[in-house]
Structure 1
Amino acid sequence: MNKQISALTIIAILAVGLVVWLSQSPSKDTFESKLLFADLQKFANKVDSVEIQNAQGMLFSAKKLGDTWLATFDPEQPVYPISRDKLATFVDTMMRSKLVEAKTNKPKNFFRLGLQSIESEDSMATLVTLKADDHSWQVLVGNEVTLGEGHYVLISGDAQSWRTDKTIGLPIDKFSWLKQPILPFEEQDISSVSRVDSLNWKITRAASGDFQLIDLPKDRVLEYDSILNSVISNLISLNFESLQVANEDFSHSLKVLTQLEVTTKEQRTFQVVVSELGDKHFVNFSANEQPEYWQKWHYQVSNFSAQQLIKTLDDFLAEPSTPTNESNTLPQAVDEGESPY
């Protein structure tokens, strides 16, 4: 009996102790997460400049002009529109990211977190700078957390490194956050496409809305009904891998594979030239009207994308049927009473 009373007494004491512990206020040493940038939310809608650098130089630089975000390259090169969705996602992540765990504050150990200064040639870090009017925010982004979400970061002017609660999506290269696809049109905006070299053909939109092949060869049919629509779809959805300024020297180094002429429903006409240089393929656009941003560059595209734009007439057509020679397949008639042996 005494043993049972002792056991009950111990359980009661532990229960009281647990209640007291749970009711205590957190220790002053307990770290409470805080925003990466405390005031960025206040100015998020006013951010007008984003720069992302690494040890190799400027990876991404974009500025807001009016309602348009434009990426800048070298001073001599034209600007280029960016993907607003990718930039918006990035700014939102920077705005909502929290510092959830303090890491090393010893500079000699920063390399373990990928937080070496980008002035070091072997640095794997990325320096992010955001600006809004007279305000600016800067953080060095290091390695991604191995397990779970998050990055290791070092805020400019702070000797303490941190782990964030969110993974910060960064551009892979200076082209990955640019506007895609190349052309600012939808399929319904196109009224005709013609190949205008020695292997010419022409596709036009019929009253039904589908495309038709002009001068379809006699006794030939399309390989399948939507094959002409796929030409328009491939053109309108054309993405690029990198950009090259459309200067004369580079243009002369290219071998032209074909040229297309495209007319929109608003009767605007532009040319598409598909070229190759070594094992790389390029596309560039030109028009007599006011030059658009997409007319100032040679776009490197994938080999698959290039092949979709250099179709010949035979590529649209089904194989011609081979007529059956009945004289070779039917037995010869035999006169009655005449033995074939």
Structure 2
Amino acid sequence: MNKQVSILTIIAILAVGLVVWLKQIPSKTTLESRLLFEDLQKFANQVDSVEIKNAQGVLFSAKKLGDKWLATLDPLQPVYPISQHKLAVFVETMMRAKLVEAKTNQPKNFARLGLQSIESQDSMATLVNFKADGRSWKVLVGSKVTLGEGNYVLKSGESQSWRTDKTIELPIDKFSWLKQPILPFAEQDIRSVSRIDSLEWQIVRTSDGKLELTDLPEDRALQYDSILNSVVSNLTSLNFESLQVADNKFSQSLNVLAQLEVVTDEQQVFQVVVSELENRHFVNFTSNQQPEYWQKWYYQVSNFSAQQLLKTVDDFLEEPSESKNATEASPQMVDEGEAPF
């Protein structure tokens, strides 16, 4: 009898152990990763709206109009072209991101993963919303994982949070995904650049494509052959840090430092004004021709970029040589009738 009881006890212990072991094994669905958005790839070419916002407000809001993507910075402000490359990389990441590890499903623990609702002022999360063909895909993106790739995410309408296999790069501010540089011209598109304020100079492109400084002093030479190219390059590659609507109140508060005039190969003529306000530098563009998007704003640029547009003629030229100065100086005459001391 005791032997039978012992056997039954062993069987019971093994049975309990088996149940516990089976509960610890993840289910097949837990082991198999799945896409963050199962059907987004199907509608990728039809995505026509992307909005990204956090507790502070909208970081990025863009819509597709025809073949162009335009961002809205403020409902009362003009739209602005975006960096389609940055948006394409982002959409590609979101389409291919997979949910690879289930995390907490307890709302009280979401803040630890950076997944607190953006309705909370201290939320670190970012809400992403795609729209296409009347459909919508929403996900709350939380903190990046400490080790390796991935973010913590919480899909709209679900209570289960996840870790993704890919790190999701989001805009730093509302300007970081806008089109750069400011001007839509390449260096070879520029026919001439002139400074038209009191410190006048003019750089023109010759028939063989080289740049020349007009009225170059006969006794001076350029510091180096490509110094004029750098002026044009700095202008066409000029990036901005932030945007300010071009209104009269703001423009009257600026201290104008330089005025330039640019002529393109297409005979488009526009002016560039470099200004300063409280140690910040701004540029703005005006033209009598058809206004472009880049003529509607004041652009805050780095101090270094501003200095590249404040060149004077002397900045292009070599310093006069000491020997030449000595030759041109009048020699001291000695009276031969007097004995030297």
Shared fold by TM > 0.5? yes
Which residue number in structure 2 is paired with residue 252 of structure 1?
A: 252
Deviation at 1:27, TM superposition (A): 5.5
Instruction: Quote the Cα distance in structure 1 between the aligned partners of 2:168 and 2:246.
Output: 34
SS at match of 1:181: coil
User: Structure 1 residue 145: deviation in Å?
Assistant: 0.6
User: What's 2:233 paired with?
Assistant: 233
Give the deviation of 1:29 after TM superposition: 6.4
1: CA distance between counterparts of 2:310 and 2:327?
36
Superposition deviation, residue 217 in structure 1? 1.2
Alpha-carbon distance in 1 for matches of 2:278, 2:329: 53
Distance 2:144 2:241 in 1: 25
Q: Distance in 1 between matches of 2:34 and 2:291?
A: 48
SS of 1:69's partner is strand
Offset at residue 257 of structure 1 (A):
0.2
| Counterpart residue number, 2:273 | 273
Aligned residue type for 2:47: V
**1:326 Cα shift?**
11
Q: CA deviation at 1:325?
A: 5.3
Rate the CA distance shift 1:131–1:318 in 2: closer, same or farther, 3 A: same
Corresponding residue for residue 85 of structure 1: 85
For 2:177 and 2:328, the matched residues in 1 are separated by 64
Measured against aligned partners, the alpha-carbon deviations of 1:259-278 in whole angstroms (never above 9, x if no partner) come to 00000011110000000001
Superposed displacement of residue 31, structure 1: 2.2
Deviation at 1:223?
0.6
Task: Give distance in 1, aligned partners of 2:266 and 2:116.
Answer: 54
What runs of 5+ residues in structure 2 fail to find an aligned partner? 1-25, 335-339
Match of 1:163 in 2: 163
d(CA) in 1 for partners of 2:149 and 2:31? 19
* Pairwise CA distance, 1:327: 11
Question: TM-score, normalised to structure 1's length?
Answer: 0.87
Indicate the SS of the match to 2:305.
helix
- CA 281–29 in structure 1, closer or farther in 2 if over 3 Å, else same: closer
- Which ranges in structure 1 are unaligned for 5 or more consecutive residues? 1-25, 333-339
Matches within 5 A, 1:109-120: 109-120=109-120
Structure 1 SS opposite 2:260: strand
Q: 1:148 to 1:316 in 2, by over 3 A?
A: same
- Where do residues 124-139 of structure 1 align in structure 2 (5 Å cutoff)? 124-139=124-139
Q: Is the Cα contact below 8 Å between 2:51 and 2:61 reproduced in 1?
A: yes
Per-residue deviation, 1:225: 0.5
Distance 1:165-1:327 versus aligned 2 partners, 3 A rule: closer
Q: In 2 relative to 1, CA 101–122 (structure 1 residues): closer, same or farther, beyond 3 Å?
A: same
Residue by residue over 1:70-109, the C-alpha shift from the partner in whole angstroms, topping out at 9 and shown as x without a partner, is 0002111000000000000000000000000000000000
Rounded Cα–Cα distance in structure 2 between residues aligned with 1:251 and 1:206 = 36
Match runs of 1:34-73 below 5 Å: 34-73=34-73
Deviations 1:100-157 (A, max 9, x none): 0000000000000000000000000000000002111000000001100000000000
Match of 1:221 in 2: 221
Q: CA deviation at 1:207?
A: 1.8
Q: CA deviation at 1:30?
A: 4.7
Match of 1:179 in 2: 179
Answer whether contact 2:30 2:102 (CA < 8 A) is retained: no
Q: 1:176 to 1:156 in 2, by over 3 A?
A: same
Task: Label 1:72 to 1:328 Cα distance change in 2 as closer, same or farther (>3 A).
Answer: closer
**Aligned residue identity for 2:271:** Q
Q: Distance in 2 between matches of 1:65 and 1:283?
A: 28
The size of the alignment, in residue pairs, is: 308
Q: How far apart, CA to CA, are the structure 1 residues paired with 2:66 and 2:268?
A: 27
- Aligned with 1:128: secondary structure? strand
Letter matched to residue 89 of structure 1: V
Distance 2:329 2:228 in 1: 39
Deviation at 1:218, TM superposition (A): 2.1
Provide the C-alpha distance between the structure 2 equivalents of 1:315 and 1:228, rounded to a whole number of angstroms: 10
Q: Secondary structure at the match of 2:31?
A: coil
Residue 89 of structure 1: SS of its match in structure 2?
helix
Relative to structure 1, is the Cα distance of residues 218 and 43 closer, same or farther in structure 2, using a 3 angstrom cutoff? same
Aligned to 2:144: 144
Secondary structure of 1:48's aligned partner:
strand
Distance 1:297 1:327, change over 3 A: closer
Contact persistence 2:283–2:298 (CA under 8 A):
yes
Report 1:281-300 matches (<5 A).
281-300=281-300
- Cα 1:74–1:320 shift into 2, 3 Å: same
Partner of 2:206: 206
- Cα deviation for residue 316 of structure 1 reads 0.3
Aligned to 1:94: 94
TM-aligned CA deviation for residue 290 of structure 1: 1.1
Kindly provide the CA deviation profile for residues 270-316 of structure 1, in whole angstroms up to 9, marking residues without a partner as x: 00000000110000001001110000000000000000001001000
Closer, same or farther: CA 218–130 of 1 in aligned 2, 3 Å = same
Percent pairwise identity: 75
Cα distance in structure 2, aligned partners of 1:47 and 1:177: 17
Letter in 2 for 1:182: I
SS of 2:311's partner is: coil
Quick one: distance in 1 between partners of 2:29 and 2:219? 86
